[in-house]
Amino acid sequence: MFREILSALQSETTIDNAFSELGEMLDHGEWMFLRANEVLHSKVPAQAVSESIYERDRAINELERSIRRKVLRYLTVNPGYDVAVCLALMSVAKDAERIGDYCKNVFEVGQFYTEGFHDARFQEPLDEVANETRDIFELVSEACRDSNEEPAQRAIKQAKSIRGRCDQIIMDLFKDEGQIQVHEAVAYSLLARHYKRVVAHLSNVATALQGQVDDLDFFRDEKKNNH
């Protein structure tokens, strides 16, 4: 995939710009994720970053629309040329847009749930997931920026581990016999779900950067038989 993309970039400024906008979307998503987790842990008040969170989300949405317009315009002028690259770019742009939505959801958990996290059985693994998700953002951004498949491979492997751990947290919450307050349990389950979706979409972007176009939607909505 990288060789195909680079070939397209060398000849077409339109696709070059669209690929650059994908990087901007990932940067916005990472910023939102970091601020959302600061709100979760009361490092900053929600009202201090709320406006910026939603502004970044709107910027991501506009970038996704911009990429779609550029790709469609390019294909109109160059029918049948670099179609696979263009479709992959549109697909991962949608993944980047969904990342923004789920980062916004993480922020809203911190905004609306203010009673604190007190159960180490769930708080500690979720904190580990959040820290590793920050690493995945960096890996995917590096792969996108530097045309390097190695960080993309690492991101996919790490994302798979995180998805499994998030599933385990949710299953453990269902098994809990009333030892945890309902509101706190809801917050933990929402975070596990939102973190899992963030890394799933990051994994989709990394998958495309590796050239595995057939697998792009595999994790987007998850296999219904298992979830």
Give per-residue pLDDT as tens, 43-59. Answer: 999 999 999 999 999 99
Token pair in block for residue 216 = 């792009």
Average pLDDT, the chain: 86
Question: CATH homologous superfamily for 2-215?
Answer: Phosphate transport system protein phou homolog 2; domain 2 (1.20.58.220)
Q: What is the pLDDT of residues 113-160, one digit of tens each?
A: 999 999 999 999 999 999 999 999 999 999 888 778 899 999 999 999
User: What mean pLDDT comes out for the span 18-28?
Assistant: 90
Pairwise CA distance, residues 65 & 216, whole Å: 19
Check pLDDT > 80 for residue 167: yes
Whether the per-residue pLDDT at 73 is higher than 90: the answer is no
Rounded to two decimals, what is the model's pTM? Answer: 0.87
